[in-house]
């Protein structure tokens, strides 16, 4: 599995000769050192980086299944950005990868199914705000027992509103910004 992350570019594969063992491989040693120093991975005993100059990837960590699972979870849990390429660009230790990530993005965009965007537009035209409506219905079903108990939430603007207040505002005709609508759509990545 390839993982392009703000910590680095990794290839994670099962070890060919050792059971319950995986290799987290990288082309840049610093990427593996970033993993070894992630606060979320402290205490799991990641091994030192092994240098393999004659292999496809010159640097690797040989890890257990549990360590591999912790690495993948830590990288996924660390997603705190709305634009991956911009975040990579902000990292001095990763800026060298900007062009490579753009090339990967471009290559993958060429694999998009012909007509996929037009089909999505047609579905959206027929269903209106179906994505938002479906998401709100799921959220409201989850929140119902919390609302009954009087639990509140703190939205990003810092104001505290009862759960369900956002749905009520929407029903009252409050307009969602284009970004809010985009954020509510299921991710395609």
Domains located in the chain, CATH noted? 2-82 (3.30.70), 129-184 (no CATH)
More confident residue, 49 or 116: 49
pLDDT (0 to 100) of residue 123: 73
Q: How confident is the model at residue 187 (pLDDT cuts 50, 70, 90)?
A: low
The pLDDT value recorded for residue 124 is 72
3-state helix, strand, coil in the chain (%, to 5): 50, 15, 35
- State the pLDDT at residue 181: 46
Average pLDDT, stretch 128-153? 62
Gyration radius from the chain CA atoms: 22
Q: Write down how long the chain is.
A: 189
Percent of the chain whose predicted confidence (pLDDT) is above 90: 49
What is the rounded CA–CA span in Å between residue 71 and residue 92?
22
Q: Of the ranges 75-84, 87-96, 173-182, which one carries the lowest mean pLDDT score? A: 173-182
**On the CB side of 56, how many CA atoms lie within 13 Å of its CA?**
7
**Per-residue pLDDT at 148:** 65
Residue 75 CA to residue 8 CA, distance in Å, equals 10
21-26 and 59-64: which strand pairing? antiparallel
Return the higher-pLDDT residue of 146 and 70. Answer: 70
Tokens linked to 128: 């209106």
**140, 167 Cβ separation under 8 angstroms:** yes
Q: pLDDT exceeding 70 applies to what percent of the chain?
A: 66
H-helix or E-strand spanning residue 62: strand 59-64
């Amino acid at each position: 599995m390839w993982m392009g992350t703000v910590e680095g570019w990794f290839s994670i594969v099962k070890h060919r000769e050792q059971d319950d063992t995986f290799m987290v491989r990288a082309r840049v040693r610093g990427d593996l050192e970033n993993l070894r120093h992630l606060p979320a991975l402290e205490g799991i005993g990641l091994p030192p980086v092994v240098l393999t100059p004659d292999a496809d990837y010159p640097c690797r960590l040989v890890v257990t299944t549990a360590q591999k699972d912790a690495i993948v979870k830590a990288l996924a849990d660390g997603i705190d950005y709305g634009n991956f390429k911009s975040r990579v660009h902000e990292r001095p230790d990763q800026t060298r990868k900007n062009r490579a990530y753009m090339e990967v993005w471009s290559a993958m965009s060429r694999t998009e199914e012909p007509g996929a965007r037009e089909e999505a537009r047609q579905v959206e035209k027929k269903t209106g705000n179906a994505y938002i409506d479906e998401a709100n219905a799921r959220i409201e079903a989850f929140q119902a027992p919390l609302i009954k108990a009087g639990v509140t939430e703190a939205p990003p603007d810092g104001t505290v509103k009862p759960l369900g207040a956002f749905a009520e505002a929407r029903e009252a005709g409050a307009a969602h910004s284009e970004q809010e609508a985009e954020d509510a759509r299921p991710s395609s990545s």
